[in-house]
Amino acid sequence: MLLIILLSNGPCFVYSLISLVMEFNTFGAKALLLILKLISCVCSALYSIIAFQRRFFSSSSISLSDMKDTLEVGDKKEGGVPSQPALQWFVGFSEGEACFKIKPKYRGDKSKVHSFSFEFEIHIHIDDKDLLYHIRDSLGVGNVYLREKNNSCSYIVGNEKGIRVLLAIFDKYKLNGIKYLDYLDFKKAFNLYFDRTGGLTDGIRSDILELYDGINTGRSNFNMPSDHEVKINPYWLLGLIEGEGSFYLRRDPIRPGFQILLTATQEPLLIKIKEYLENNLGFDFYSC
């Protein structure tokens, strides 16, 4: 078995990409065995995802008080409130597919920002729309929008109450990668705006715009807080894999593999995932 970190410059990407690659040197009957094992693992993973979603995501909504109880107890509550594993899966999936947005709103001449809005968005292929409905119905916040012309769909939370529910989740179950920095800036801007005592002052406006300029694609500082700790668990990893993982099969020679593809700034996270897999996969004779 080969478990490596690859760094490459993809022609279709603005950023360098880094990937965690698992490949298996296979010959003859061993190749067939490993392919069957890989297919079995994929099927098992898909079954686990479906069963996991059905078990932990229900149609009942979640209130701020329920969320507080859930985060403290960490167990599935009666009435369908998501359990700790479900929320960890959600954070892992958000790590790969979500975006935190600060949106300035300008007056008619666009000379000055008069207000801000804030959005959390998960944008995926329309084939996976049922997954977004599960998330929406489970959390009881946000809406799902179908964009059939480009075969995509989005789950968007854009109101204050809904975002406060998400803040409670991401404060308890922290993001592991660079997206954590975007979350911190998003949260800071959100609190500056909604927790102010008076009107929107020039000082607050300036502070939020500075955060807006440095978030997502505008980020230039990738230093994680000194107290931040990467914590990987199976549920978080399953969510990330569903968003950023892929299974593939090379033809010459026959070589099945698995890959997680992230931006180059995420190398420390991939190293941690590599260590976690090496310590927890339980490789046997046929995996070597």
DSSP 196: -
Give yes or no for residue 84 having a pLDDT over 50: yes
Long-range contacts of 128-134 (CB under 8 A, 24+ apart): 128/153, 129/153, 131/53, 134/53, 134/57
- Using alpha carbons only, how large is the chain's radius of gyration in Å? 21
Judge if 153 and 15 occupy the same domain: no
Mean of pLDDT values over 210-229: 94
**Per-residue pLDDT tens over the stretch 239-272:** 999 999 888 887 877 777 888 888 889 999 999 9
Judge if 122 and 252 occupy the same domain: no
- Domain range enclosing 117: 60-221
Judge if 52 and 87 occupy the same domain: no
Give yes or no for residue 151 having a pLDDT over 50: yes
Residues of the chain above pLDDT 90, percent: 54
- Is 68 a member of any domain? yes
Judge if 68 and 43 occupy the same domain: no
Judge if 126 and 179 occupy the same domain: yes
Nearest-angstrom CA–CA distance, 288 and 282: 11
- Is 238 a member of any domain? no
Alpha-carbon torsion (190, 194, 200, 202), positive or negative: negative
Lowest mean pLDDT among 58-67, 176-185, 231-240: 58-67
Judge if 36 and 97 occupy the same domain: no
Nearest-angstrom CA–CA distance, 247 and 211: 37
pLDDT of residue 20: 62
pLDDT of residue 71: 39
Give Cα separations from 98 to 91, 135, 158, 166, 260 (angstroms).
9, 13, 13, 12, 16
Please state whether 145 falls in left (phi above 0), alpha (psi between -120 and 50) or beta.
beta
pLDDT of residue 2: 47
- Is 252 a member of any domain? yes
Give yes or no for residue 187 having a pLDDT over 70: yes
Lowest mean pLDDT among 34-43, 202-211, 229-238, 261-270: 34-43
Mean of pLDDT values over 170-197: 97
Q: For the chain, what is the mean pLDDT? A: 78
Judge if 51 and 81 occupy the same domain: no
Tokens of 250: 């090379």
**pTM score of the predicted model:** 0.76
Judge if 132 and 111 occupy the same domain: yes
The more confident residue out of 26 and 140 is: 140
- Is 198 a member of any domain? yes
pLDDT of residue 1: 43
Q: Assess contact for 76 and 52: CB atoms under 8 A.
A: no
- Is 231 a member of any domain? no
Judge if 74 and 182 occupy the same domain: yes
Nearest-angstrom CA–CA distance, 196 and 101: 19
- Is 153 a member of any domain? yes
**Per-residue pLDDT tens over the stretch 91-147:** 999 999 999 999 999 987 777 899 999 999 999 999 999 999 999 999 999 999 999
- Report the CATH number that the domain containing residue 112 is assigned in CATH: 3.10.28.10
The more confident residue out of 31 and 146 is: 146
Last residue of a domain, one of 221, 256, 271: 221
Nearest-angstrom CA–CA distance, 172 and 68: 10
pLDDT of residue 29: 45
DSSP 284: -
User: What is the number of domains present in the chain?
Assistant: 2
Pairing of strands 245-250, 143-147: unpaired
- Is 107 a member of any domain? yes
- Is 228 a member of any domain? no
pLDDT of residue 248: 82
Q: Considering only CA atoms, which of 188, 180, 135 is closest in space to residue 157?
A: 135
Give the pLDDT band of residue 275 (cuts 50, 70, 90): confident
Judge if 113 and 179 occupy the same domain: yes
SS3 assignment, position 288? coil
Give the pLDDT band of residue 231 (cuts 50, 70, 90): very high
pLDDT of residue 83: 84
Nearest-angstrom CA–CA distance, 248 and 35: 10
Judge if 211 and 192 occupy the same domain: yes
Q: Considering only CA atoms, which of 286, 239, 280, 235 is closest in space to residue 260?
A: 239
Nearest-angstrom CA–CA distance, 127 and 277: 29
Judge if 36 and 64 occupy the same domain: no
DSSP 215: S
